[in-house]
Amino acid sequence: QKEVEQNSGPLSVPEGAIASLNCTYSDRGSQSFFWYRQYSGKSPELIMFIYSNGDKEDGRFTAQLNKASQYVSLLIRDSQPSDSATYLCAVTPTNTGNQFYFGTGTSLTVIP
């Protein structure tokens, strides 16, 4: 099993703050990295993907990738109560036939 580790939380931030979610992975040859958001009782939905070192921004979301340190993070600026969900990190390791390995998710609560 290719390991993907996340702090399960729960992580609580006040409304308007920056939420920082972290993920580490074990396979140094991993290719692509994803952040999914999952509301309770719903299916995961893709927020961001990144495959190059550095930052990638999309609206209030920024994904950061550091392959040398084998971590990927997600920053959520100006957090809103609607951001309260579980955030899943997913990785495509090498030679795995397009399957994703998921972390166990970080539960985020944004307090109004």
Spell out the residues 6+ positions from residue 59 whose beta carbon is closer than 8 angstroms to its own: none
CB closer to other proteins, 6 vs 64: 6
**Window 34 to 73, contacts with other proteins (CB under 8 A):** 34, 36, 38, 42-46, 49, 51
Identify the residue whose tokens are 């970080």.
Answer: 106
The angle at the Cα of 50, spanning 46 to 53, to the nearest 5 degrees, equals 160
Identify whether the C-beta of residue 86 lies closer than 8 Å to the C-beta of residue 36: no
Using CB under 8 A as the binding rule, whether residue 25 contacts other proteins is answered as no
Residue 41 has φ and ψ, to the nearest 5°, of: 80, 5
Should residue 32 be labelled a site residue for other proteins when binding is judged by CB under 8 A?
Answer: yes
Binding window for other proteins (CB under 8 A); candidates: 15-23, 58-66, 69-77, 94-102: 94-102
Binding range to other proteins, per CB under 8 A, among 14-22, 61-69, 72-80, 88-96: 88-96
Q: How many CB atoms lie under 10 A from the CB of residue 19?
A: 23
Binding interface with other proteins (CB under 8 A): 31-32, 34, 36, 38, 42-46, 49, 51, 86, 88, 90, 92, 96-102, 104-105
